[in-house]
Copies of this chain bind each other. A is one copy, B any other.
Amino acid sequence: MTSPHRATVIELATSRRTTRVFAKTPVTLEDVLYCVKVAVQAPSGANRQPWRFVLVDDSKTKERIRVACEEQEKRHHATVEANLKQWFNSKNITSQKPFLTDAPTLLAVFSNQKMPYATESTWLAIGYIILALEERSLSTLTYTPSYPENVRSMFNAPEEYKLEAILPIGYSADSKPKEPRRVLESSVYRNLWNVEV
């Protein structure tokens, strides 16, 4: 577990890229639980800890999730706005979501919508998860089902829980490079909008 080189946060954040293609190499339960342990340390609105995680490593469950999601994605892709459709095409993103069965483990992330800033807190915790995965040499993508309500009920999750994301988790076999980022100067200002740091 101890490594001669421990990465800094900027190294974890910079090296980390979205993975859509996963190796068959299994993922240990310990590694995934490590990331959840990190996540629950995140701050949340009124410390209500609105998140819940369902770790999915059963093949049949993964298959059912994939079928449900792809059905929804077909609807979504048919109605999506032009801008996003263009981006989908440029990235070869279709309604097919093979990573939902190819990744050894899925982590479904829910937020209790009755709690203050539930979505915000839960996505903050997803940020923690992503850096923890990277530290363990694991990869993911933040897949957001278009109609999460249908998938939520598959998990028997209570109605107040919104399915925020499904994170497929595994070792990357994706050859695509990291998506480029804008230069820093166009993202951060000083004291007033558009004023350079």
The interface-forming segment of A46-54, A67-75, A96-104 is A46-54
* Contact A124–B130 (Cβ < 8 Å): yes
Which of A9, A37, A142 has the most chain B CB atoms inside 10 A of its CB? A9
Q: Which residue of B lies closest to A144 (CB)?
A: B117
Tell me if A82 is interfacial: C-beta within 8 Å of chain B. Answer: no
Smallest CB separation, A72 vs chain B (Å): 16
Could you say which residues of chain B place their CB within 8 Å of the CB of A188? Answer: 33, 36, 52-55
Tell me if A125 is interfacial: C-beta within 8 Å of chain B. Answer: yes
Could you say which residues of chain B place their CB within 8 Å of the CB of A47? Answer: 179
Q: Which residue of B lies closest to A55 (CB)?
A: B190
* Contact B41–A155 (Cβ < 8 Å): no
Could you say which residues of chain B place their CB within 8 Å of the CB of A37? Answer: 10, 184
* A194 contact from B45, B117, B121, B156, Cβ within 8 A: B156
Tell me if A192 is interfacial: C-beta within 8 Å of chain B. Answer: yes
Q: How many residues of A contact B (CB 8 A)?
A: 73
Which of A40, A41, A58, A165 has the most chain B CB atoms inside 10 A of its CB? A41
Tell me if A187 is interfacial: C-beta within 8 Å of chain B. Answer: yes
* Contact B38–A10 (Cβ < 8 Å): yes
* A130 contact from B12, B43, B158, B191, Cβ within 8 A: B43
* Contact A40–B182 (Cβ < 8 Å): yes
* Contact A84–B38 (Cβ < 8 Å): no
* Contact B157–A193 (Cβ < 8 Å): yes
Q: How distant is the Cα of A120 from the Cα of B126 in the complex, in angstroms?
A: 9
Which residues 86-116 of A sit at the B interface, judged by CB distance below 8 A? 87, 116
Q: How distant is the Cα of A125 from the Cα of B40 in the complex, in angstroms?
A: 17
* Contact A33–B184 (Cβ < 8 Å): yes
**Are A9 and B29 CB-contacts (below 8 A) given A61-B191, A128-B131, A156-B193?**
no
7 A-B pairs with C-beta separation under 8 A: A36-B184, A43-B179, A46-B84, A124-B124, A126-B127, A127-B131, A158-B193
